[in-house]
Structure 1
Amino acid sequence: MLLPDPASTRRPAPAPYKRIATEEAFAPPAMLDIYRRLLERGDADAGFRGLMGFYMTSPSERARHIMRCLTDLDALRLAHMDAAGIDMQVLALTSPGVQVMDSATAVSFAREANDFLADAIRRHPTRFAGMLAVAPQDPAAAAKEIERGVNRLGIHAVVINSHTQGEYLSDPKFWEIFEAAQAYDTPIYLHPNALPKGMYEPFYECGLDGAIYGFGVETGLHALRIITAGVFDRFPKLRMVIGHMGEALPFWAYRIDYMHRATVASQRYASVKPLQRRPSEYLREHFYITNSGVAWEPAVKFTQDFMGSDRVLYAMDYPYQYAVDEVGFLDAMDMPLADKTRFFQTNAQAVFKIA
């Protein structure tokens, strides 16, 4: 089957369901000012320099488009949504969010970013929902921000941009965040970040460090670390979301199950302990998957078959991927209307508590 043409701009026709896009980035201008100061200092890590350093300084049309769109939560963004037939966006603070900042700045700015987001939702309540930013650098503060976000801002999901300065949520020191997410029934969207030190160079030297490949590899690794660390045995009601067709994990599920069982039996690694269930069962029962950036019917249908049609959601990945015609290709998928409605609308309403 041919892939859709990413250069096409054919507008989608009206649909018998709402189209809710569930991984759509924004950036308060004040955060970009913090990023500029970090870059000017000269000691920012290579992944951050390669990601935001590029987008914030490149004269290319793609970079200028992304920077314009990230900071606009009004006319420009709404016009782009209307052109693509998107009824609502679920907004998330763009990667790396506050996770590249020092702890005190990260805690403070996460609150500022969430207030900025809440203001946008209040201005456009039928067009925007959102995810809370938190600072994993301070797990106790992150837990408090989840409580504030739910109870005061009415936002019912969290975004964490994968690793935090090379550290992963599989480390129990971060599990206070999982405890709060479970307690307040807020799913955590595990979104990609620029690659950490030690992983960056082999990808960067061949141009594969970003969304083309590196992001998916690193975020899939993070999700597997969380699973194999026993997080879901400790927090049985915790829910998570991963994008980009599950960062390929559904396609690896058989081999992951086999090799995890074999690795436990071999006692090769002290870090690999028995789990109550197979890794693929945690993936199916605790994760939701968005197709962000993958407007390809075979991948969507395979993932629905693997996960269940109630666990796969639509996302565009705006503004990093804004291809109007992708919506039309997905509208045309050969699947029952009920499953298509779940994909575009009702799964998102359930996961993100959208009325």
Structure 2
Amino acid sequence: MATPASLIALEEHFAAPGLLPEATEVSFFDPDQLVAIERLLPELAEERLRAMDEAGIQIAVLSQTAPGVQGIHNTSEAVTCAHQANNHLQRSLELHPKRFRGFAALALQDVDAACAELSRCVEELGFVGALVNGCSQQRFLDDSGFAPFWRTLERLKVPLYLHPGIPAESPRSRLPQLEGATWAWTADTAEHALRLVVSGVFERHPDAQVILGHMGETLPFLLWRLDSRFAVTRYASQLQGRPSEVIRRHIHITTSGVCDPAPLRCAIETMGIDRVLFATDYPYEDIALAGRWIQNTPLSASEREAIGYQNARQLLKLNT
């Protein structure tokens, strides 16, 4: 079993000044629940550290909550906000260097600016990757215009955490009960990830690594069917290998927001133990519950250590 305060958690949200989600963007939340979440998002000090201690988390990798800079339509404003959000996060990292790491917020509305900001965050500020909240100006990351961004990730040898944002194509027929994290974000993010797989992004960028939260946004449970059905399409010959093989080479998943041993076991068996990492989805989920769950759910000692902290150390190159 992982010892207390040994866990590394990869999807731990905060909100920089000016980037707290608008009420209209999260209108599906129960108002009382939203008030509690909004109070916790900006806090990067004692209360968060106390919650981490109670959950047995040594290091939290912090990221700007959705929709973040992806929700800003004006390009120059988005670039400025990303820079300011990353500087704000860096100040907290400096205050608590043993407890916090950071994923960069990036305004992919301007690809060149995003590449420069990612380089600054990794090379100068010590961030361990980037987190992008879905599409930027309704452009998926398989768009050829994002090639410089993928090359920058490869050069810096850091992963991209692909997190849900405002869905690019929200069906008019969707029931409001299925908006947000209940289903809409999962469906949108799973499709976004599959676009990267089948469009050849990872063949063009063989060193790119992507992280998906929420136990892989359902993809670990669909690998066999993806292979079976893709093989009989006219596009099968365009991909070098089966979709599942591409996913296992280039995608990691975290447990954020899913504290259930059954899907965890499925994820381990389908993705491989080295591709599964711990996360809590704080403050949207119960951080203490997530900590207790990963330390007590049925796993071998080596599996618990790999998911709890060893895989994160390797992927993010953490010296802890």
TM above 0.5, yes or no, is yes
Paired amino acid for 1:338 = S
The residue that corresponds to 2:312 in the other structure is 348
In the alignment, is the contact (CA less than 8 A) between 1:200 and 1:209 conserved in 2? no
Is 1:166 matched with 2:154? no
State the shift of 1:252 in Å: 0.7
State the shift of 1:334 in Å: 2.2
The residue that corresponds to 1:338 in the other structure is 302
For residues 7 and 64 of structure 2, the distance between their equivalents in structure 1, rounded to whole angstroms, comes to 21
Distance 1:76 1:200, change over 3 A: farther
In the alignment, is the contact (CA less than 8 A) between 1:181 and 1:187 conserved in 2? yes
State the shift of 1:50 in Å: 3.6
For residues 88 and 321 of structure 1, the distance between their equivalents in structure 2, rounded to whole angstroms, comes to 17
For residues 141 and 221 of structure 1, the distance between their equivalents in structure 2, rounded to whole angstroms, comes to 26
The residue that corresponds to 1:129 in the other structure is 101
- Once the two structures are superposed, the pairs formed by residues 55-134 of structure 1 within 5 Å of their partners are 60-101=31-72, 102-134=74-106
The residue that corresponds to 1:192 in the other structure is 164
* CA offsets 1:241-267 (integer angstroms, 9 cap, x no match): 0011110111111111122121126xx
Which one of the candidate residues 265, 283, 299 is aligned to 2:263?
299
The structure number with the bigger radius of gyration is 1
The residue that corresponds to 1:25 in the other structure is 13
State the shift of 1:213 in Å: 1.1
Distance 1:201 1:319, change over 3 A: farther
For residues 156 and 2 of structure 2, the distance between their equivalents in structure 1, rounded to whole angstroms, comes to 36
The residue that corresponds to 1:313 in the other structure is 277
Which one of the candidate residues 279, 286, 298 is aligned to 1:322?
286
The residue that corresponds to 1:254 in the other structure is 224
For residues 276 and 17 of structure 1, the distance between their equivalents in structure 2, rounded to whole angstroms, comes to 42
Q: TM-score, normalised by structure 2?
A: 0.94
Which one of the candidate residues 178, 183, 187 is aligned to 1:213?
183
For residues 352 and 129 of structure 1, the distance between their equivalents in structure 2, rounded to whole angstroms, comes to 10
Cα RMSD of the aligned pairs, angstroms, is: 1.9
For residues 79 and 293 of structure 2, the distance between their equivalents in structure 1, rounded to whole angstroms, comes to 41
* CA offsets 1:22-71 (integer angstroms, 9 cap, x no match): 10111112323xx66xx8xxxxxxxxx242x666xx7x331111111110
The residue that corresponds to 1:6 in the other structure is none
Paired amino acid for 1:255 = R
State the shift of 1:160 in Å: 0.8
State the shift of 1:315 in Å: 0.5
State the shift of 1:14 in Å: 7.6
The residue that corresponds to 1:276 in the other structure is 240
- Once the two structures are superposed, the pairs formed by residues 4-19 of structure 1 within 5 Å of their partners are 15=3, 18-19=6-7
The residue that corresponds to 1:9 in the other structure is none
* CA offsets 1:296-330 (integer angstroms, 9 cap, x no match): 11211211111111110011000011252332222
In the alignment, is the contact (CA less than 8 A) between 2:2 and 2:305 conserved in 1? no
In the alignment, is the contact (CA less than 8 A) between 1:217 and 1:247 conserved in 2? yes
Which runs of 5 or more residues in structure 2 are unaligned?
A: none
Distance 1:16 1:339, change over 3 A: farther
For residues 130 and 320 of structure 1, the distance between their equivalents in structure 2, rounded to whole angstroms, comes to 18
Paired amino acid for 1:161 = N
For residues 252 and 133 of structure 2, the distance between their equivalents in structure 1, rounded to whole angstroms, comes to 16
The residue that corresponds to 1:244 in the other structure is 214
Which one of the candidate residues 251, 254, 258 is aligned to 1:287?
251
Q: TM-score, normalised by structure 1?
A: 0.85
Which one of the candidate residues 104, 111, 114 is aligned to 1:139?
111
The residue that corresponds to 1:223 in the other structure is 193
Q: Would you say how many aligned residue pairs link Structure 1 and Structure 2?
A: 318
* CA offsets 1:139-189 (integer angstroms, 9 cap, x no match): 111111111111110112111111123220111111211110011111000
For residues 305 and 117 of structure 2, the distance between their equivalents in structure 1, rounded to whole angstroms, comes to 33
In the alignment, is the contact (CA less than 8 A) between 2:9 and 2:60 conserved in 1? yes
Quote the sequence identity (%): 35
In the alignment, is the contact (CA less than 8 A) between 2:252 and 2:275 conserved in 1? yes
> SS where residue 161 of structure 2 aligns?
strand
For residues 286 and 215 of structure 1, the distance between their equivalents in structure 2, rounded to whole angstroms, comes to 21
* CA offsets 1:112-143 (integer angstroms, 9 cap, x no match): 11111111111111111110111111111111
For residues 283 and 14 of structure 1, the distance between their equivalents in structure 2, rounded to whole angstroms, comes to 28
State the shift of 1:200 in Å: 4.7
Distance 1:165 1:353, change over 3 A: same
Which runs of 5 or more residues in structure 1 are unaligned?
A: 1-12, 40-48, 266-271
